[in-house]
Structure 1
Amino acid sequence: MKLTGAEILIECLKEQGVDTIFGFPGGAVLNIYDALYKAKDSIRHILVSHEQGASHAADGYARATGKVGVCLATSGPGATNLVTGIATAYMDSVPVVAITGQVATSLLGKDSFQEVDITGITMPITKHNYIVKDVNKLADIVRDAFRIAKEGRPGPVLIDICKDVTAAVAEYTPKEPEPVKEIPIKVKEDKIDEAVKVINESQKPIILSGGGVSIAGANEELIKFAEKTKIPVTTTLMGMGSFPGTNDLYMGMIGMHGTKTTNLAVSESDLFIAIGARFSDRVISNVERFAPKAKIMHIDVDPAEIGKNIVVHYPLIGNIKKILEKITEKVDEKEYSEWNKKIDEWKKAYPLKSRTKGELKPSYILERMYELTGGKAVITTEVGQHQIWAAQFYKYSSPRQFLSSGGLGTMGYGLGACIGAQIGLPDKKVINVAGDGSFRMNCNELATAVEYKLPIVVAIFNNRALGMVRQWQNLFYDSRYSATSIDRGTDFVALAKAYGAIGMNVTKPEEVDDALKEALASKDTPVVINFEIDKDEKVFPIVPPGAAIDELIEE
């Protein structure tokens, strides 16, 4: 059948099972929006307040559901406003397809109104990108984009479509989407056997679970492997929920803000098994002094990660799920060992400190949030101290439950991601844990949450400062607080009400439960809770720059 390019795009999105698009219209995408209007019974369009909100919402939708998130923007500034969200998705391996409008093909390269080379700009932060100048190629490009976004190590793909292409007519033939090819194991059987031998012989092994475990859907396989071998488990920030935080083998997070138990265990271990993790600087800190007594085993889908940041002795490349199944089948079943007992002693000796002393403390707020939600809420975060507190004091029992910008560290990410996650999981309670600095960046998306009657909860940990930067200035810059005080007198409760949301202020521990219960009971209105905490509240533990990860500052 003959269709316009815009209609072909919509039909191809339907082919791929797309039910939601986050976007903002403009001149170069008018034809697409006209086709969307006609297809509104099939595809829901969420009109955001700013294009960056669209990219973060698509990202949150993808992380929460495991499906591909889709965002749409016009040319020029509309396209460039997506860039931060695309980079966020790229760093954390999130499948997003970003669709942008472009000036007509006859105007390309002429500094036309709202023309920008968005494919050139996004080349380093996408798995692949396209500029579509021929309507006859559009359908195949859209299909390829979704395949690339999903296959292997997921990531964002951008499709830039010239305006005249959306108006041109071409033949459209429906096509069933190709199944995503299963990732092969790749690693040979003798290497699996070698890994099994090393695991069986190790006396002080530990497992590091990264975000790749959740992406691969290998959570159950990891649990079976850990419980059979009795190996203690830690996670990266991106790996929160990939192994249950309630499991006795769980030691807490690793690295710069990891638990003392975990970081001591790393330094004492003789075998360090990293699964779906990339050994970022926030994990290893001083690379020369990381796991000095251990052999490193690295299981990952992406061969580019093997040996990139640290020497790997036993690389196992391929399908994480299948590799874990094979190893678990062959490895010896172990009893609770002296090593496990030592870990338990450290856990008792060095717990994460949670106190109130009559003051409103982040740890207390998050512990009450955990209890009142039964540990079942999906938590999104902005970036800063509150992000680490959320990782430390809320226990995550399942994958896709903790959504946070890990690699790029994007302030302003959380609210858009919270909106996307709530739309993707309408039956879940979704909470955005925010700092006052991050919340200011994209608080305009409250208008989106109100319009679509989303019962999200925004918990602002308001210390009237850029808390994490201020903490560094205090600890490492002799308390020279340069540009980190933001006590601007903003009334977040009034702001929430101005947008049509519910606003509450909490200053005392005894007010926490009532505020959270009211917020969690909301059915169709966003709730903002302004928790007023002390400006000098700090994240501990913290590993100083250049130190080994077992050299933590605890107080």
Structure 2
Amino acid sequence: MNSVSGGSAVVESLRSEGVDHVFGLIGSAGMEIFDALYGAPDIRFIGVRDERTGTHMADGYARASGNAGVILAGQNGPGATNLVTGLAQAYAAYSPVVALAGSLSSAHVYRDAFQEVDQQSLFKTVTKKTWTATQTKRLPELVHEAFRTALTPRRGPVALNLPRDILAETIEFDPGPSAWHDAPPPAGPADVIERAAQLLKGAARPLILAGGGVKNGRSHAAVLKLAELLNAPLAMSPGHGDALPCGHPLYAGQIGPRGNVVATDCARQADVILALGTRLGFNTTFYTNDNLNPQAAIIQVETDPLALGRLVPIEVGVFGDAGVVATQLAAELSAHKATAAVQWAAGFRERRAALLAQREEVGAQNATPLQPAALFKMLRALSPADSMFTMDAGTLCLQATDQMPYVQPPALFTPLDFGLVGFSYACGLGVKLACPERTVISLMGDGGFGMTMSEIGTAVQHGINSICVVMNNGCWGAEKAYQRDFFDGRYIGADVPNPPYDKVAELFGAKGFRVNHASEFEAAFGAALSCGKPAIIDVQIDPNALYSFRRDSFKHRAKS
């Protein structure tokens, strides 16, 4: 055994977990870890400009790779507090982020010391679990436990506070066994699978509603096979339009206001709904029957038993992995002839084709200022088949969510139920590091990009060549839409004066492009794809092209 500092013990433990990227911002409390990373050439350290955006990078890396993403906040106090928004985002997305936070020296706790804050309490509500190390010799154990907790169902972020004196002490390092966290996904009980199969056999209007459990488990092949046996359209929960490849003839897209009317109507008309790997949560249902047929028999499949029937009444609850259960059901239904659903599936395909044709027609309008539909049409036509898209919340990204071509799952990364603005660009940098061979396109509004554009410096420094399309309408679009539609146009705080983001990109050393008219986009996008640098495309969008997504919240203000 080697005599090492606590900081070196942390890095050796990361190595034993197979970590090859660490995102972070240096600070004196974690200096022992940073020094150990200097001597670890097999672990690439990505120095970021803010701990929040670094956490988004770790989040994107985790979701794209399927492994844990690691964020290291070197400074106690403000460095740790900056993690909170990113961890809350990862928590809402069930993303396995491991946060390592430098912490106050043990002898200074409760003395109102410099940059003192109760980090243990701070992280509790935004993580699966939070620990504070109290002994240097236990650091390997705690790091392994952090990975085990983050990666076991349901996945999610964890935080480990590391007091600077614990990191400075020397121990005889024994890595011990790495925590085993690759447990086989659970299968559904045979009797429950049989009950679910019987319901599906009798369905005349079956629908499969796929959620994050399908996407995160990379289970699309099993789900497609089952859908073909059932003649069931494939709808997806909001933010998971990439759970299944968009080119399949049964692909319906996402339901709800962030989705499309065809997929939503299928959910409103289906007589049996197989909800695979979804909580049937807020963005899917708005906790009403508006988007789901209240008479439908719902079969819900979840790895969290508490989610079964919690938010929506169900007929059958299956505690199991979405992909495993889909395979079980396909085996049970292998001889099934879904003749009763033939007309249902054919009608769906006609409606879907009409929707896609309508999108192309609307997007073909060559208006100035540029309309979102025109931008989306061009992105569909020009984006390579391997493209991975990241998005913010906000009116323009929400309009785009169901419009992009998700050809190769996984291909869509959004804030999901946390609804965070300022997420997309940093997330895209993490996605690109996880999948360097694929094209990464980050869509953002101008307000969200202004929050996080300092990470252009990170992209340039580390050669992370993603493309960010800034949809610049000069305002906080979602809120301005609500002020327009429900508050008589009494605008306050809605407009955002911006610098020319293409020029900002160039000053950082990236490539910048400006698009004022639809005719300029193809050349700019092609140049961004081929430039071999991080690229920012500042696209001027019609500031009046706004849409109120949360109309339910303002029913009390709606005019009759």
In the superposition, the TM-score normalised over structure 2's length comes to 0.93
Q: CA deviation at 1:505?
A: 0.9
- Counterpart contact for 1:257–1:539, Cα < 8 Å: no
State whether structure 2 residue 348 is matched by structure 1 residue 343: yes
State whether structure 2 residue 541 is matched by structure 1 residue 533: yes
Quick one: structure 1 residues 546 and 115, their matched pair in 2 at CA, closer, same or farther if it must change by over 3 Å?
closer
Provide the rounded CA distance (Å) in 1 between the counterparts of 2:295 and 2:480: 35
Q: Which residue of 2 aligns with 1:473?
A: 483
Q: CA deviation at 1:201?
A: 0.4
Q: Which residue of 2 aligns with 1:212?
A: 213
Q: CA deviation at 1:114?
A: 1.4
State whether structure 2 residue 199 is matched by structure 1 residue 198: yes
Once superposed, what is the RMSD of the aligned Cα atoms?
1.9
Q: Which residue of 1 aligns with 2:558?
A: none
- Counterpart contact for 1:12–1:142, Cα < 8 Å: yes
- Counterpart contact for 2:259–2:401, Cα < 8 Å: no
* 1:444-479 CA-partner distances (Å, limit 9, x unpaired): 111111111222111011111111222233333333
- Counterpart contact for 1:206–1:234, Cα < 8 Å: yes
Which residue of 319, 334, 338 maps to 2:321? 319
Q: CA deviation at 1:378?
A: 1.2
Provide the rounded CA distance (Å) in 2 between the counterparts of 1:316 and 1:123: 30
How do 1:150-169 residues align onto structure 2 when only pairs under 5 Å count?
150-169=151-170
Question: Which 10-residue stretch deviates more, 103-112 or 188-197?
Answer: 103-112
SS at match of 2:247: coil
Which residue of 451, 456, 461 maps to 1:441? 451
- Counterpart contact for 2:385–2:408, Cα < 8 Å: no
Provide the rounded CA distance (Å) in 1 between the counterparts of 2:351 and 2:463: 46
Equivalent residue letter for 2:376: L
Equivalent residue letter for 2:517: K
Q: Which residue of 1 aligns with 2:233?
A: 232
- Counterpart contact for 1:285–1:547, Cα < 8 Å: no
Provide the rounded CA distance (Å) in 2 between the counterparts of 1:281 and 1:489: 33
SS at match of 1:460: strand
Q: Which residue of 1 aligns with 2:530?
A: 521
SS at match of 2:174: coil
State whether structure 2 residue 376 is matched by structure 1 residue 355: no
* 1:412-468 CA-partner distances (Å, limit 9, x unpaired): 111111111112222222111110011011111111111112221110111111112
Q: Which residue of 1 aligns with 2:254?
A: 253
How do 1:58-69 residues align onto structure 2 when only pairs under 5 Å count?
58-69=58-69
Q: Which residue of 2 aligns with 1:49?
A: 49
- Counterpart contact for 1:211–1:240, Cα < 8 Å: no
- Counterpart contact for 2:388–2:412, Cα < 8 Å: yes
Q: Which residue of 1 aligns with 2:552?
A: 545
Quick one: structure 1 residues 441 and 114, their matched pair in 2 at CA, closer, same or farther if it must change by over 3 Å?
same
Equivalent residue letter for 1:316: V
Question: Which 10-residue stretch deviates more, 468-477 or 455-464?
Answer: 468-477
SS at match of 1:18: coil
Provide the rounded CA distance (Å) in 2 between the counterparts of 1:163 and 1:374: 47
Q: CA deviation at 1:183?
A: 4.4
State whether structure 2 residue 393 is matched by structure 1 residue 383: yes
Q: CA deviation at 1:315?
A: 0.4
- Counterpart contact for 2:220–2:243, Cα < 8 Å: yes
Equivalent residue letter for 2:348: I
Provide the rounded CA distance (Å) in 2 between the counterparts of 1:139 and 1:372: 47
Provide the rounded CA distance (Å) in 2 between the counterparts of 1:137 and 1:543: 48
SS at match of 2:23: strand
Equivalent residue letter for 1:202: A
How do 1:91-102 residues align onto structure 2 when only pairs under 5 Å count?
91-102=92-103
Question: Which 10-residue stretch deviates more, 69-78 or 451-460?
Answer: 451-460
Q: How many residues are matched?
A: 544
- Counterpart contact for 1:152–1:183, Cα < 8 Å: no
* 1:155-206 CA-partner distances (Å, limit 9, x unpaired): 1111101111101122222345344243453642111100000000011111
Q: Which runs of 5+ in 2 are unaligned?
A: 556-560
* 1:72-114 CA-partner distances (Å, limit 9, x unpaired): 0121000110111111111001111000011111111222111
* 1:265-320 CA-partner distances (Å, limit 9, x unpaired): 21211112111112222211251444222111110111121122111221001222
Provide the rounded CA distance (Å) in 2 between the counterparts of 1:184 and 1:215: 12
SS at match of 2:232: coil
Equivalent residue letter for 1:249: L
Q: Which residue of 1 aligns with 2:517?
A: 508
Equivalent residue letter for 1:165: I
Provide the rounded CA distance (Å) in 2 between the counterparts of 1:383 and 1:437: 11
Q: CA deviation at 1:118?
A: 1.6
Q: Which runs of 5+ in 1 are unaligned?
A: 549-555
Quick one: structure 1 residues 85 and 279, their matched pair in 2 at CA, closer, same or farther if it must change by over 3 Å?
same
- Counterpart contact for 1:375–1:394, Cα < 8 Å: no
Equivalent residue letter for 2:320: G
In the superposition, the TM-score normalised over structure 1's length comes to 0.94
Which residue of 482, 498, 501 maps to 2:507? 498
SS at match of 1:56: helix
Q: CA deviation at 1:480?
A: 3.0
- Counterpart contact for 1:31–1:166, Cα < 8 Å: yes
Quick one: structure 1 residues 345 and 147, their matched pair in 2 at CA, closer, same or farther if it must change by over 3 Å?
same
Quick one: structure 1 residues 325 and 489, their matched pair in 2 at CA, closer, same or farther if it must change by over 3 Å?
closer
Provide the rounded CA distance (Å) in 2 between the counterparts of 1:350 and 1:142: 50
Provide the rounded CA distance (Å) in 1 between the counterparts of 2:306 and 2:248: 32
Provide the rounded CA distance (Å) in 1 between the counterparts of 2:60 and 2:351: 36
